[in-house]
Chains A and B, each alone.
Chain A
Amino acid sequence: MELNILELKEKYIKFEIKGITPSMANALRRTLINDIPKLAIHKVIFHHGQIRDKNGNVHDSTTPLFDEIIAHRLGLIPLPTDLNMKFRDDCDHPPDEGCPLCTVTYTLNKHGPATVYSGDLVPHGDQKFRPVDSLIPIVKLKDNQAILLEAEAIMGTAREHAKWQVTSGVSYKYHREITVKKDDSDYWEEVKNSCPENVIYEDKDKITFTDDRKCKAMAKLLSFDNPEIKEDNSWFIFQFETDGSLSAKDTLDYALRRLQERFSKIRESAAIS
C-alpha cells in the first residue's frame, strides 16, 4: 500500500493510493465526508428591541431576513478548528452548558446602513477563532436597523448536520492508462504538448497517457482516436476540497487516523467475547 500526494494546496489535495480495494477507498471517502469534527455555530441568542450605537443613535433590531435564517447562515460559516477541542457530550458538565474546552463564543454587533459580513463576528478570547473567510455576506441592514447577537460554536461532525462538513467534492477514480496508435490521427501531439506530465510511455507507433492529473485536451482524445483504455481497480486517484476550517493535509491525516481508531474498536470488542 502506497500513498503519494500529486497536488497539495492549503484547501485542496489530490493524491493516489496503490494496492487497496474499492471498499477501502469508499471507507476513506465516507470518513472524509462525514466523520471529521469541526467547529460551527450551534446556538444564537438575538437581542430584540432598541440597539444604541456609540453616538447614542437608536436603531431597531429588525432585519430583512428572519432570525432563523440568519442563525442558519451563521451556522454555515467555516470557523478555524482546533482538533484538540472536545465534543460537548464528552465534557463533564450538563449538555446545555459550555466550557472553554468545548465551546467558542462569538458576538456580532453592526449598525445599518451596511452589509453584515462573516468577518464582523468577533470571538471572545483567543482571536485565532476568527472566521477563515471574512467576506461571506450574512444580512443587509438599512439606515435605522442594527443587529446584536451572541453565538456559541461547538464541535460536531457532518453525520449530524452539513454545517459540520469540512470537505466538499470528495471523489476517487481508478488510475487509467489510455493508449493510442500514432497513425490514427495527429491529435495525440497536442495532448502531449499541453500536458507532458501525463505521458507514461511512448515508442515509435504507440503513446500511453494517464488522466491522473487534470488535462483539458484529454477529453477530445477519447472521441478522436479509438483509444485502448486500461483501468486498474487497485490504484485510486482521490481528490477533495476543504472549506478552510482545516487544511487539506490535516483533514486527510485525521481521516486516516479515524479509520484506524474505528477498526481498532471493533477489534477490541471482538477480543472480549
Chain B
Amino acid sequence: MIIPVRCFSCGRVIASDYVAFVNRVKFIRENEKREPTSEEIENIFDELGVERYCCRRMILSHVDLVDEVIPYD
C-alpha cells in the first residue's frame, strides 16, 4: 500500500529513505535509459545509510499501491 514508516525488524525509519531511493532510481532510468545495476543500488543504500539487510528488503520489496487505491474512496 504505502511504504511502512519503520523497518519491521529493527525499527529504523525507512519511509523517507524510500522516497529518496525511488528518486535516485528514477534519475538513472531517465538519464541513462537503463535499469540501475546492482552495484548502483548498493551504492544508493550505502549513501542513504541503510546498512542492515532488514531495512534494505523493506525498500527493495515494497510495491507502492496507494495511487491505485485513491480513485475508490
Query: A: which residues have CB within 8 A of B?
Result: 12, 60, 62, 64-65, 73, 76-78, 118, 133, 135-137, 139-140, 142, 145, 162, 165, 168-169, 241, 243-244
Contact = CB atoms under 8 A, between A and B. Distances in A.
A88 to B, nearest CB: 22
B15 interface: yes
A162 B69 contact: no
B66 A64 contact: yes
A243 B13 contact: yes
B73 A145 contact: yes
Interface string B47-73: 001011000000000000011011101
Contacts of A135: 15-16, 19-20
Interface of B: 1-3, 5-7, 10-13, 15-16, 19-20, 49, 51-52, 66-67, 69-71, 73
A243 B12 contact: yes
Contacts of B6: 76, 162, 243
Contacts of B70: 64, 140, 142
9 contacts: A76-B5, A76-B6, A77-B5, A135-B15, A135-B16, A140-B70, A165-B11, A168-B10, A241-B12
Contact of B2 (A78, A140, A142, A165): A140
A64 B70 CA distance: 5
Contacts of B16: 118, 133, 135-136
A139 B49 CA distance: 24
